[in-house]
Every structure is written in structure tokens, then in C-alpha cells.
């Protein structure tokens, strides 16, 4: 079976529309980030999270009342996964020893429910740890971008590298924007997913770039725009199939992987979709507009041949 | 054309078989078990197995098997973790004199596989349950302690050498020594400079305001901090070992933090209490020459200090300590044979033992007191009704008894509130004191049922995702799709094998990483197959198309995967715990997927199509 047999879609004819669309979405994303902010998870804000498993379905209000009575005001209480699982979030305040907060909450609720409560999960993150993590998270994204920029610049040419990095930043912004717009919790695993999106989005971009380079050398006629169009068309089948299969696997993760991994899977789903679009309309279009040409590929040709000759 | 030499096929087959062998242990379920070791120098043997069996049967705790394990241990296997918990209670309760039990998970491997020494992947805390704590060591306090020691030493030195001084104190990280005149200051400076070379000295003021300032050299400050951190790690390790947790991880993280991971541990409140506790004992003589009432009224004699007993009664003790907790080398909890009270049996080191003997010989028939020192958290209600907790040093006299005869190195102390207190105190005395105060700044506890849920859901997601991709590939690429699916299986197999071999930690995001790898490993195959289709469309013969397809796809596959690898490596170096698990599986998965797509998939294509005339390919 073949879905795309010798397509010849003039992708680059729509490059301006694509750029306007991308810019608009990105501005929306940045705006949302600035005005709504991110619903940062415990990993970054610090605080205490307790997940309890009750034997039977439990009234959240009774849990709240039990907490209120013991002086744990301001706790967020919600169901998690099922009606028997309850998630409680608390912010440390005052002089209380934050590390022992979870023990006291568990004790209180366990007594209130006659000992029929199972402690499923405790996460406590001190404020200093959260601050460190936020800083490291930013650095991690920065380092991967720099690493990729250098690699692509060496393997191809700087215009391609800039295009790839613009596309990657585009994907990161869109993915983060979804979390900001819908105020979905952004925790450490989501951050890991964003970093994986960087890798994935690039994977797609590189495959198209590889073909552009090859076609510049092979096809002697045609404007750069025609070459880019040809390359995108030639790789279209692969792009769609790979994105499709990866999307399916991550969808399985999203649907069946459990509540803990939901945010992570969602970030990947968004990232894969956006990454596929951006490798065509952002990375290739940006490289094209930065003025890639046949001549640029000449100095790199020697190195390319050496690598092509590997077993 | 398109044939691999025999040796290459055999080599690849060998790789797959070794991978299969290494990945095999993961198929077997893991039993909740207890590792039993002998307490204090004893050993476990056939008789111990019988004894444990009898105890478990007596308490009606069902178990699967008791078998010898590596390193002179016994392994008791259970069917359910509830049984394991009750089993642990039995061992801790009736057999704690002779055995220590540590809860663990152990794979139920057949004998021949165990003999080969292959192990399943190491499951992270989010999958097997357990407690993770990040501990911050108060470095300033460690340095302040050393500075305090210096001020004492300086005082002693000046007094010994008869140099006149007004005061020795600390201020803003410096030691400030005030002298009555410049002469004494200069003499003092020379003395201190000779004796304490690590201090950096500077003079200030003249005549009546003559002052000497001393600061610790940066190198020594650093050394003090390193020592405090290392000492704390040792103490924490001792305490954790005494808690009965198998395979604990205690690691330094950065300059001032310690990670403690306790797989399978289930009581975070008790564990945090033990990790952060500072309980110790001191032995002092009771001051019988002065009136306690006078001291309560504020006239405490200079050589004595006022303490309180547990019932609140005041008691006057000598300021001089006979022995401190630091000199205790061993301690065990038990019950006093005469009145059944909880007690701790204590053994002293050489120096402490000698001193104890001397003092008790000189003071037979006089009373001696045991002081229980604890850094405890006190809870109270603040002005607005909020709960306020603070650290408070409590010193309580737990027992006073007349010395009937000189003490040896080993003796008993009673007066404790409960068997638990005796048990915890013995544990803390054995483990040694913390060199600097610690604070828990991060905790992640996963209950055993959540861990199992995570495993179940994770693997269900992997199976469903894998199946969906496999069906699609066959549908879309025919015979080549089948080849891609087999390649994918070998890829997951090798990934699991390498994870087991490196004993890398598998976490829930790690499982997600495996799944993502499946998605991306398909990519390499898709790249190759699309290339072959293109070549076919361009009119090449099937054999030439296969050849060209694999060759031309190589550089693309390498480029695309190296960039992802860069992101994976950054993620690994930055991430902690679960995220690191994701980075590990993703990075290893990239390597195995390139390997399998280029070699395994090619070998299969060659076996099916190689070396014969073809008119068409099923692609």
C-alpha cells in the first residue's frame, strides 16, 4: 500500500501564509505564557503533595473538613485517576517543618477514616530545590539547542542550523503554550517531554535537510524553491508515516499509561504534531528564506562523501 | 547480490541470542521477599532456616520458600507484599536478637538462569515503591562547630602559656581575641600562629583596644565541609542499614546534598525521624555535695549543671562528662531481666571504657546519672491558632542509680519510656552521630500498590502501542513490514538486555522512553523502505534498489539520530530520578534502533531476497 505516490505539492508556495500562521500562534503562545503563566507543578514551586487510596469512594468535602479541623487550611483536594484516589496539595507556611507535613496530614486523614486509607504517594519539594530545578530546566533546554545548532552547522551549513533552531524553538513555544492556555500542570516529566520534542522535531527536520542537500548536488536544474519543494515531496511519505507511528505509540501512552504520565504524553503528542508541521513549513521555509543555494553545499560536499562511504 | 557472508549472519544471530538471554530475567515475576542476615557476627545456616520457618508458621504467615542467597544470607519469598510485611514483623519481633531482616524484591528465576548471574532491570522507586529523600547538610553549622573548637583551644593555649587576655569570642565568622595591651597581643599572636597554622591572623587596635582577629583558611573551611558531608553520609548509611532496607542508595549530590533512596521502604514518618535524629546518651556523676533547692533558686554551683528527670524533678549533675555517645561502639535494645523494663546494652571504646572504670572505681556507692539528649521537634499553637514547630534540644535524666561496683566496657541503661524508644536509641547509638545538622528538602514516597499500578499501566501502554505499530507496518509494507516488526522486537529485546546489563534504573518515564523508541525505531525502517520504493520507481532492479535503499538511507539515519541523542545526553546530565530514567532508555534506544535497522533488518532482507533473481518486491 502506498499513500503518497510521487506527490508534487508546491509546499513552498504557501510559505508566507505559513509564516503568518506560525507567527500568530507563537505570539499567542508567548502572550499566554506572559499573562496566564504556567501552572507549574510541585517540582518547580515546592510544596507537598499527598495521594491517598481510600477503600471506597470518598466525599472530597469530608476530606477537606477533616483537614480544616486540624489546621491544614488552604489545601487543594481533588480526585486523581479514580473516585477512590484523592490528591491533596499543600503549600508550606510559617515555621512548620515542611518535611513532616505529609506525615501529619496522613495521620489526620487516616484517623478520620478509621485507618482505611493507603498512602499511595508523597512528594515534598523544598522551595530551594524548586528554584534550582527551574534554573536547571532553562539551562537544559538552552544546552540542547546549542548542541544541536553546532552539530547542524558542522554537518550542513549555518543557514540550515539557524532554520533548524528556529523550528525547534517554534515547537517548544507551541508545546508550552498548550500547557499555558489550558493551564495543564507543567511538571518535571513534562519538561523531559519538551526536551524529547526538541530531539524529535529535529529528527524530522534533518531528514528533509538531508534530502535538500542531496538534491542540490544531484538535480542540476531548478531554483532553490523548486529543490526544497521536490525534497519535501520526496520525503513526505516518510514524514507522515513516521509521525503517524510515533503518534500512535504516544497515544497509547496517553490513553493507557495512567494519570501520572498523562502530562508527559500530552506534551509529546502536541510536540509530534507541531514538529511535523514545523520541519516542513518552519525549518525548510526559514532555510530557504535565509538564502540556501547550490553553491553552499560545495564546501561540505567532501565531508558528506566521507560519511556517505561508511558501511 | 545482497548476501551477508556466513560469519556476519552468525555474529548477528549470536548478538540476538545473547540479547534474548540477558532480557529473559525480566519476564519472570518478582517476589516480595525478606533478606535475612545474622545480627552481630553470627551466621545463618540450615538451622536458621528451620527457626525462621517455625516462627513464620507459628505466626501463620504464608511464604513461598526459604533459600540460601549470595553473601551468607537467607532469602524468604512471599506471594504478596502484605505477607512480606507481616513476615518482617515476625523477624523484627521474635527473632531480632539474632537476625536482621531487609525487605526486597527478588526475581523468581529458574536455577540455571540464576547460575548464569543474569539479572532483571533495576526498577526505580516509582515502579517498585519506596522512599526517596534529598537531604541538605548545614555547612555553616559544620564550620561554626570547628570555629567553636578553635576558640576553646585558643583559650586553653593562652591560659596554659600564661598570656593575659580579656575575652575570646566569635563574630561574623571571625574569632575575636581581646587583650589588655599590645604586648600580650603580640605574644598571643606568635603562640597561636605557631600552634594553629591553619588560622589566618590579623591585628587590630593598640594598647587597651589591642585585638587579634583569626579566620579559618579557605582550604580548611572546605576541608571541614567535605569532612562533615562524608561523615554524615557514613552515619546515614549506618542508620539506613540498621533500618532493614535492602539495596539502599546513599549518594552525595553536589556540594552539600545527600540523596537517600530506600526501595520498598514504607513508613516515611519513621524513616525521616531516624535519618534526622540526633539522640545520644551522656553519663555524669550526680552532685551530692550541693543543695538542689539552691540551684533551682538560681545559685547553681560552678562545677555543676541543673537537669530535670523525666518526671520533672530537678537534679544537679557534675559538669564533667564521664563518657559521651561518641565513645559508644555498640548498643542493643532488650528488656531488663529483673523487672522487664526496656533497656539498652551499651559497649564503650577503649578510651571510654578505661575512663568509665576509673571514675566508677573512685565513686563506688555514689549515684551516677544517664542523660538522654535529643534534638526533637516541638509542636505548639501560634498566636493565630496555626501549628508551629521548632527544633529544640532536650536533655533529660533518664536514670539515676548508685554505683554498686566498678563498670566494665559493657553495661546496661534503663529508664526508657518504651521498647520503641530503646530500639531507636540503640540504632542511633550504633550508627554514630551526625557531624552537621541536616534538613530534608525533598521527599518522594511511592506506595507499593501505586508502583504496581505504574508497572501494569506502563506495560499495557507499551504492548498496545507496539501492536498498533506492528499491524500498521505489515499493512503498509507487506513482507518488509514483517521484517520491520521483527527488527522492532529485536530492538526492544536488545534495549532490555542492555538496561539489565548496565543495571540501569527503569522508571515510569523510562517505560515511556521505550515506547518512544519503538516509534522512532520504526523511522529508520521507514526511511530505508521509502528509499527502496523510490529506487524501484526510478526503474532500478529489485536487488539494486535494496542495495541503494540501505546505503542512501544510512547518512540520513545517522544525522537524524545523533541530534536526538544530543537532546538525550543533555537530559541525562541534567535530570534527576525518573527523568534520568527516560534519558537512559531514550539514548540506549537510539543506539539499538540504528544498529537493528542497519544490520538486523538488512540481514533479514538478505536472507529472504538475497542472491536470487527477483521480478518484484513485496514493499
Q: Which domain holds residue B43?
A: 29-108
Same structural domain for residues B11 and B43?
Answer: no
> Which of chain B's residues have a Cβ under 8 Å away from the Cβ of A104?
387
Domain end (from A109, A125, A141): A125
Distance linking the first and last C-alpha atoms of chain B: 19
- Whether chain B has a CB inside 8 Å of the CB on A88: the answer is no
* pLDDT confidence band for A311 (50 / 70 / 90): very low
pLDDT in tens, A209-241: 989 988 988 888 888 889 999 999 989 988 899
**SS3 call for A243:** helix
Predicted local confidence at residue B73, as pLDDT = 81
Cell 489546621, located at residue: A71
pLDDT one-digit tens code per residue, A5-46: 778 888 888 888 888 999 999 999 999 999 999 998 888 888
A103:B272 CB<8 A: yes
Owner of C-alpha cell 566508677: B360
B387, B516, B527 member nearest A249 (Cβ): B516
Q: Does A163 share its domain with A256?
A: yes
Given a contact cutoff of 8 angstroms between Cβ atoms, the answer to whether A120 and B450 are in contact is yes
Question: Which residues touch A281 (CB under 8 Å, ≥6 apart)?
Answer: A11, A14, A15, A18, A19, A22
**A91 part of a folded domain:** yes
- CATH, residue B343: 3.30.1360.200
- Note whether A228 and A299 are same-domain residues: yes
Assign residue B477 the CATH number of its domain: 1.20.1640.10
Residues B312, B321: Cα–Cα separation, whole Å: 22
Q: In chain B, which stretches have pLDDT less than 70?
A: 39-42, 96-97, 375-392, 575-578
Q: Which 3 state secondary structure label does DSSP give B344?
A: strand
pLDDT over threshold 60, residue A67: yes
C-alpha B499/C-alpha B588 separation (Å) is 8
Which 3-state string (H, E, C) describes A18-52? HHHHHHHHHHHHHHHHHHCCCCECHHHHCEEEEEE
**Which residues make Cβ contacts (< 8 Å) with residue A135, sequence separation at least 6?**
none
Among B127, B128, B134, B59, which Cα is nearest to B91's? B59
Cβ burial B311-347 (10 Å sphere, 16+ → b, else e): eeeebbbbeeebbbbebbbebbbbeeeeeeebbbebb
Q: Which tens digits make up the pLDDT trace of A174-205?
A: 999 999 999 999 988 888 888 888 888 888 88
Co-location of A210 and A234 in the same domain: yes
Tell me if B502 is assigned to some domain: yes
A8 shares contact with chain B (CB less than 8 Å): no
Based on the fold, state whether residues A104 and A169 are members of the same structural domain.
Answer: no
**Residues B336-369: tens digit of each pLDDT:** 888 888 888 888 888 888 888 988 898 888 888 8
Candidates B352, B483, B315, B347; CA nearest to B411 is: B347
Is A204:A272 a contact under the CB 8 Å cutoff?
A: no
Domain of A54, CATH number, reads 3.30.70.3400
Q: Which residues contact B187 (CB under 8 A, 6 or more apart)?
A: B163
What distance in Å separates residue A26's CA from the closest CA in chain B? 22
- Find chain A residues with C-beta within 8 A of B514's C-beta: none
How many angstroms separate the CA atoms of B444 and A123, rounded?
4
Which of these three, A99, A125, A151, is where a domain ends?
Answer: A125
Residues B297 and B423 in one domain: yes
CA distance B380 to B105: 41
pLDDT of residue A309: 43
Which B positions 376-435 lie with beta carbon below 8 A of chain A? 377, 382, 385-390
Residue B583: inside a domain: yes
- Grid cell 483536594 is found at A77
Whether A126 has its CB under 8 Å from any CB of chain B: the answer is yes
Mean pLDDT of the region A265-287: 91
Q: Is residue A2 part of a domain?
A: no
Domain end position, chosen among B181, B203, B220: B220
Q: What residues make up the domain containing A61? A: 47-125
Are residues B459 and B420 part of one domain? no
| Chain B residues 583-602 with CB within 8 Å of chain A | 583, 586
Q: How many CA atoms lie within 13 A of B252 on its CB side?
A: 14
> Does A199 touch chain B if contact means CB atoms closer than 8 Å?
yes
Closest residue to B578, CB basis, from A71, A189, A258: A189
Residues listed for chain A:
311
How far, in Å, are A40, A176, A197, B253 from residue A179 at the CA level?
A: 10, 5, 14, 31
Contact B559 A139 (CB under 8 A): no
Q: What's the alpha-carbon Rg for chain A, to the nearest Å? A: 25
Q: Do residues B451 and B521 share a domain?
A: yes
Residue A260 has a CB neighbour count (10 Å cut-off) of 23
Contact at CB, B563 and A148, closer than 8 angstroms: yes
Same domain, yes or no, for A169 and A83?
Answer: no
The pLDDT value recorded for residue A304 is 45
Cα(B616)–Cα(B541) distance, integer angstroms: 8
Residues B510 and B582 reside in one and the same domain: yes
Considering the domain architecture, whether residues A102 and A136 belong to the same structural domain is answered as: no
ipTM given for this complex: 0.84
Is the minimum CB–CB distance between A149 and chain B shorter than 8 Å? no
Among B108, B123, B157, residue at a domain's last position: B108
* Number of domains into which chain B is organized: 4
**What's the number of domains chain A is made of?**
2
Residues B346 and B395 in one domain: yes
CATH, residue A25: 1.20.1640.10
Q: For chain B, what is the mean pLDDT?
A: 85
- Give yes or no: residues A171 and A63 share one domain: no
B145 at interface of A, judged by CB pairs closer than 8 A: no
CB-neighbour burial class of residue B41 (10 A; exposed 0-12, middle 13-18, buried 19+): exposed
CB-CB contact of A99 with A57 (8 Å): no
Q: Are residues A304 and A193 in the same domain?
A: yes
Assigned domain for B248 exists: no
Quick one: B488 and B604 in the same domain?
Answer: yes
Kindly report, residue by residue over B140-166, the tens digit of the pLDDT. 888 887 888 888 888 888 888 888 888
Same domain for A143 and A250, yes or no, is yes
B550: closest CA among B510, B609, B597? B597
- Residue B524 domain-assigned? yes
Which residues, numbered 28 to 87 in chain B, qualify as contacts with chain A under a Cβ-Cβ cut-off of 8 Å?
Answer: none
Residue A242 lies in a domain: yes
Amino acid at each position: 500500500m502506498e499513500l503518497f505516490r510521487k506527490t508534487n505539492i508546491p509546499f513552498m508556495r504557501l510559505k508566507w501564509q505559513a509564516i503568518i500562521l506560525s507567527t500568530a500562534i507563537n505570539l499567542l503562545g508567548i502572550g499566554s505564557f506572559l499573562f496566564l503563566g504556567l501552572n507549574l507543578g510541585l517540582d518547580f514551586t515546592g510544596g507537598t503533595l499527598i495521594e491517598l487510596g481510600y477503600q471506597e469512594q470518598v466525599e472530597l468535602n469530608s476530606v477537606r473538613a477533616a483537614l480544616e479541623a486540624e489546621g491544614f487550611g488552604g489545601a487543594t483536594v481533588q480526585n486523581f485517576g479514580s473516585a477512590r484516589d484523592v490528591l491533596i496539595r499543600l503549600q508550606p507556611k510559617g515555621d512548620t517543618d515542611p518535611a513532616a507535613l505529609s506525615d501529619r496530614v496522613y495521620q489526620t486523614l487516616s484517623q478520620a477514616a478509621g485507618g482505611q486509607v493507603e498512602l499511595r504517594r508523597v512528594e515534598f519539594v523544598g522551595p530551594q530545590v524548586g528554584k534550582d530545578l527551574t534554573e536547571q530546566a532553562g539551562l537544559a533546554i538552552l544546552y540542547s539547542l546549542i548542541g544541536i545548532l553546532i552539530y547542524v552547522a558542522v554537518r550542513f551549513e549555518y543557514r540550515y542550523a539557524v532554520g533548524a533552531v528556529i523550528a525547534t524553538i517554534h515547537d517548544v513555544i507551541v508545546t508550552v503554550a498548550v500547557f499555558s492556555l489550558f493551564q495543564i500542570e507543567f511538571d518535571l516529566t513534562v519538561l523531559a517531554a519538551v526536551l524529547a520534542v526538541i530531539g524529535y522535531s529535529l529528527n524530522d527536520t534533518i531528514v528533509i535537510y538531508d534530502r535538500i542537500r542531496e538534491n542540490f548536488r544531484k538535480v542540476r536544474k531548478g531554483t532553490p524553491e523548486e529543490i526544497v519543494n521536490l525534497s519535501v515531496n520526496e520525503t513526505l511519505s516518510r514524514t507522515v508515516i513516521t509521525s503517524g507511528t510515533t503518534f500512535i505509540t504516544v497515544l497509547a501512552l496517553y490513553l493507557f499509561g495512567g494519570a501520572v504520565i498523562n502530562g508527559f504524553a500530552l506534551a509529546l503528542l502536541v510536540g509530534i504534531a507541531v514538529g511535523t508541521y514545523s520541519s516542513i513549513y518552519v525549518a525548510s521555509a526559514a532555510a530557504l528564506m535565509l538564502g540556501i543555494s547550490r553553491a553552499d553545499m560545495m564546501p561540505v560536499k567532501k565531508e558528506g562523501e566521507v560519511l556517505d562511504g561508511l558501511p | 547480490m545482497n548476501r551477508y557472508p556466513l560469519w556476519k549472519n552468525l555474529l548477528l544471530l549470536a548478538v540476538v541470542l545473547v540479547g534474548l538471554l540477558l532480557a529473559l530475567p525480566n519476564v519472570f515475576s518478582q517476589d516480595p521477599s525478606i533478606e535475612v542476615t545474622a545480627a552481630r557476627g553470627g551466621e545463618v545456616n540450615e538451622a536458621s532456616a528451620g527457626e525462621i520457618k517455625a516462627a513464620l508458621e507459628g505466626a501463620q504467615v504464608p511464604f513461598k520458600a526459604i533459600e540460601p542467597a549470595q553473601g551468607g544470607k537467607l532469602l524468604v519469598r512471599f506471594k504478596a507484599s502484605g505477607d512480606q510485611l507481616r513476615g518482617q514483623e515476625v523477624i523484627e519481633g521474635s527473632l531480632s536478637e539474632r537476625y536482621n531482616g531487609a525487605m526486597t524484591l527478588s526475581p523468581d528465576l529458574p536455577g540455571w538462569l540464576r547460575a548464569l548471574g543474569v539479572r532483571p532491570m533495576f526498577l526505580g522507586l516509582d515502579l517498585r515503591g519506596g522512599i526517596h529523600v534529598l537531604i541538605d547538610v548545614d555547612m555553616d553549622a559544620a564550620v561554626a562547630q570547628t570555629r567553636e573548637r578553635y576558640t576553646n583551644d585558643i583559650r586553653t593555649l593562652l591560659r596554659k602559656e600564661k598570656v593575659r587576655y580579656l575575652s575570646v569570642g566569635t563574630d561574623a565568622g571571625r574569632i575575636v581575641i581581646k587583650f589588655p595591651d599590645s604586648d600580650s597581643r603580640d605574644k598571643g599572636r606568635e603562640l597561636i600562629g605557631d600552634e594553629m597554622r591553619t588560622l589566618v591572623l590579623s591585628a587590630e587596635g593598640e594598647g587597651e583596644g589591642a585585638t587579634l582577629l583569626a579566620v579559618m583558611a579557605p582550604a580548611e573551611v572546605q576541608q571541614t565541609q567535605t569532612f562533615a558531608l562524608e561523615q554524615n553520609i557514613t552515619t546515614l548509611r549506618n542508620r539506613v542499614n540498621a533500618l532493614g532496607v535492602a539495596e539502599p542508595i546513599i549518594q552525595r549530590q553536589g556540594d552539600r546534598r545527600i540523596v537517600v533512596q530506600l526501595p520498598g521502604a514504607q513508613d516515611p514518618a519513621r524513616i525521616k525521624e531516624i535519618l534526622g535524629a540526633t539522640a545520644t546518651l551522656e553519663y555524669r556523676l550526680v552532685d551530692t555535695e550541693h543543695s538542689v533547692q539552691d540551684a533551682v533558686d538560681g545559685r547553681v554551683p560552678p562545677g555543676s549543671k541543673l537537669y530535670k528527670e523525666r518526671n520533672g524533678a530537678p537534679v544537679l549533675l557534675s559538669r564533667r562528662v564521664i563518657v559521651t555517645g561518641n565513645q559508644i561502639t555498640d548498643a542493643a535494645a532488650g528488656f531488663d531481666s529483673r523487672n522487664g523494663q526496656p533497656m539498652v546494652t551499651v559497649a564503650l571504646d577503649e578510651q571510654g571504657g578505661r575512663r568509665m572504670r576509673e571514675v566508677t572505681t573512685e565513686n563506688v556507692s555514689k549515684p551516677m546519672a544517664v542523660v538522654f539528649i535529643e534534638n526533637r521537634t516541638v509542636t505548639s499553637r501560634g498566636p493565630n491558632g496555626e501549628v508551629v514547630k521548632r527544633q529544640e534540644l532536650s536533655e533529660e535524666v533518664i536514670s539515676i542509680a548508685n554505683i554498686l561496683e566498678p563498670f566494665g566496657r559493657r553495661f546496661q541503661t534503663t529508664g526508657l519510656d518504651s521498647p520503641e524508644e530503646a530500639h531507636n536509641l540503640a540504632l542511633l547509638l550504633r550508627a554514630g552521630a551526625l557531624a552537621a545538622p541536616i534538613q530534608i528538602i525533598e521527599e518522594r514516597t511511592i506506595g507499593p500498590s501505586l508502583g504496581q499500578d505504574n508497572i501494569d499501566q506502563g506495560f499495557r501502554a507499551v504492548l498496545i502501542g507496539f501492536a498498533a505499530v506492528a499491524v500498521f507496518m505489515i499493512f503498509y509494507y507487506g513482507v518488509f513490514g514483517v521484517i520491520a516488526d521483527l527488527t522492532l522486537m529485536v530492538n526492544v529485546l536488545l534495549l532490555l538486555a542492555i538496561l539489565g546489563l548496565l543495571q540501569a534504573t527503569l522508571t515510569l518515564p523510562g517505560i515511556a522512553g521505550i515506547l518512544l523508541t519503538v516509534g522512532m525505531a520504526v523511522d529508520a525502517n521507514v526511511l530505508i523502505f521509502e528509499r527502496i520504493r523510490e529506487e524501484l520507481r526510478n526503474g532500478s532492479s529489485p536487488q539494486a534498489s535494496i542495495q541503494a535503499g540501505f546505503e542512501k538511507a544510512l547518512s540520513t539515519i545517522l544525522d537524524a539520530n545523533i541530534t536526538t541523542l544530543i537532546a538525550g545526553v543533555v537530559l541525562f546530565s541534567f535530570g534527576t530520578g525518573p527523568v534520568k530514567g527516560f534519558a537512559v532508555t531514550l539514548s540506549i534506544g537510539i543506539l539499538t534502533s540504528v544498529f537493528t535497522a542497519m544490520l538486523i533488518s538488512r540481514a533479514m532482507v538478505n536472507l529472504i531476497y538475497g542472491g536470487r533473481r527477483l521480478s518484484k518486491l513485496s514493499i
